[in-house]
Amino acid sequence: MTKRMLLVCMAVLMSLCRVQAQDGFSKNGATTFHIGCGYAKIADAYTSSGFSMGVEARFYTTERLFADFYGQWGNSEGSKEVMQKGSPFSINDERNSLLGVIGVGYDVVQSEDKRFCAYVRTLAGYGMMHSKYDDYQPLTEDDGVITRMRDRRDKGFAAVCGVGFDARFKGWLLTPSFDMIYVGNCWNMAAMLSVGFFCSFSY
């Protein structure tokens, strides 16, 4: 359902604007929209392979500097084995993070025709981490106490610090990126591939 809603939002934005593709390309005053997904590593999760999805809007105030609005959802479901009464026992968890942040970014390295660039960005805002997990407290090397399905929610300050690389094909963008994400009082990681486009609104 979440993926479908994001795709619908992308289609609506494309219907409201026209993709820029002129030869004399300029970023100054342009707007970009992006949607992407990829890998997430959520702190304290029982598995290292999580999923991440993000949506982004950039508003360029110069040929390099842009205001950035970003929303991200991360998910991780997994299990690990612990020892209970001398035998291995599997415990499970599910972690979900959600955040909305705003900030600034800058195209640090950019080709002369603006087809390729590497950027950095720093953003801050609000987010939450919802964790459901079997808690394990070891007593000895081969035994411990298991508390089934604890439910925890951490809300508050969120931040994103990241780098990325834009490859432009006319008005379209392909962007691999890597972000360090602070949400729910812990740091997570996300590596994603996004598709986006430059546009100017028609009135």
pLDDT tens for 85-144 read 889 999 999 999 999 999 999 999 999 999 999 999 999 999 999 999 999 999 998 999
What does pTM read for this prediction? 0.83
Domains of the chain (ranges plus CATH)? 31-201 (2.40.160.20)
Beta carbons of 181 and 187 less than 8 angstroms apart: yes
The CA-based angle 106-118-99, given to 5 degrees, is 65
Residue 154 contacts residue 184 (beta carbons within 8 Å): yes
What confidence score (pLDDT) does residue 202 get? Answer: 43
Mean pLDDT of the chain: 89
